Amino acid sequence: MTTEPSSSIPKGYKEAHKAAKPFHIDPADIPLELERLFPPDKVREIARETKFVERERILEPVFFLWTLILGFGVRLERTLSNLRRLYMAWSKSEVCASAWYDRFTPEAVRFLQSCAVLGISQMAGETQRKLADKLRRFLDLLIVDNTIIRLHEALAKRWPATRSRNVAAGLKLSLIVSAVANGPSHVAVHAERTPDIKTLRLGSWVKDRILLMDLGFYKFRIFARIDEQGGYFVSRLKANCNPFILQSLKVHRGQAINLAGKWWGEVESRLQREVADVLAEITFSRRPYNGKSSSDSLPLRLVAIYDDEDKEYHLYLTNIPPEVLSAEDIAALYALRWEIELVFKELKSKYALDVVDTRNPNIVLGLIWTAVLTLLVSRRLYGLLLRSAPREIVGRYTPLRWSNSFAETGEILRGVILGHLGVQGKRDDDAVTLAWSYEVNTLDPNVKRHRLRDGWYA
């Protein structure tokens, strides 16, 4: 249970809103934003299509959805019995304990997953953030990664863990995070033993977009597919890879080593320069066809940035031309992968993705999708804050501070949604409290602090 921050609201703030002179966010926009994210009529339609409900008088899908998101999702209610009591209070209906548990069926999982797909499509259709001038030729910047969710050991036969000495179970949550949408553009759940590269399905959607990938997705066939589809990527170079250098893309003064025609392994230890930027050739095997496999080659850009602290080069592969992004830009851009780690941290530490401790597979999957739905709600309101904030301070509204503020005010948001849905009387003061908390508590007080996304997007 969190403490309402309303007593800390400066005098005159509520009056300013009542006088139609909001500071940033219009409090009335908060429930409207969430209604646009999950339109009630569309939610009910999904419930019928997935056969989650056949008669709404038995269970109201809109209340069920928001009960999970603002109950379990923000950790206000940690048990299914508490969620049942919360649902009954919202819907003003009686649901016995056995009937409530029985609602967590494969149909319920499909319902929650379909609602997540709806939310992702809603966010994908709107621009939450703009890419900086350096990236103006690209449609989006996408960060790809997976995280492991530990489960009750009783599920080890169904979802066995990878490389575990003890009996353990786990699932793999696959995410593609969009910089433009300021949230996930793709979510999928896989068995933990599924290789990372098999969780990424490429297609025409990569065209004119940059993918930032870690070594779990390192495969030259994947790089070739992205390039063939008109997309772009940045990846680290594996230590055992030794590309053949075709030409240098950066002019160096003095008696610099001529890198053309040499293998990277034979020149790396002899380099004296801080930055190397070359066109290198990668040889790889194509996917077998009619029982035969063929080899192919792909020219890629190899960027090497010397790190004084590690006393070694940090190596990157990309197909982004040097006239678009410099070698230093490539290294700085790859550092933005840290943002997806913040998303995983937000899911696990704020939205209960790390407490899925049940033996029921349907409840496991249902609560995983609940965490994803809560993330979508969080990022939708975060986007509202970014769009409302003055340009000179928008960069100081950081994702980590936002997630803290969002989770801490979950109970207040619950009251605002209840009022908007007509479950209880509207409380305009609660919406003002939320607007104030989002604007003030999310703002980083360190004006001059460097942030990874500075210069790339805001």
pLDDT per position as a tens digit, 183-230: 999 999 999 999 999 999 999 999 999 999 999 999 999 999 999 999
Q: How far is CA 246 from CA 240, 262, 273, 361, in A?
A: 19, 8, 18, 53
Our measurement of the distance from residue 263's CA atom to the centroid of its chain's CA atoms, rounded to an integer in Å, reads 38
Q: Is the pLDDT of residue 343 over 60?
A: yes
Instruction: For the chain, give the mean pLDDT.
Output: 87
Give the amino acid at 28.
A
pLDDT attached to residue 18: 46
pTM value is 0.89
In DSSP notation, 400-446 reads: HHHHHHHHHTHHHHHHHHHHHTTSS---HHHHHHHHHHHHHHSB-S-
pLDDT range class, residue 16, cuts 50, 70, 90: very low
Residue of 246, 407, 245, 403 whose CA lies nearest to 339: 403
Mean pLDDT over 65-70 rounds to: 90
Q: Record the tokens describing residue 278, joined without a space.
A: 């070359």
In this structure, what are the phi and psi dihedrals at residue 134, rounded to the nearest 5 degrees? -60, -25
For 231-272, the pLDDT digits (tens) are 999 999 998 899 999 999 987 665 667 889 999 998 888 888
For 89-125, the pLDDT digits (tens) are 877 888 888 888 888 999 999 999 999 999 999 988 7
CB under 8 Å, gap of 24 or more: what pairs does 109-112 form? 109/362, 109/365, 109/366, 109/369, 110/50, 110/52, 111/46, 111/47, 111/50, 111/52, 111/61, 112/65, 112/68, 112/366, 112/369, 112/370, 112/373
pLDDT range class, residue 148, cuts 50, 70, 90: very high
Mean pLDDT over 394-411 rounds to: 89
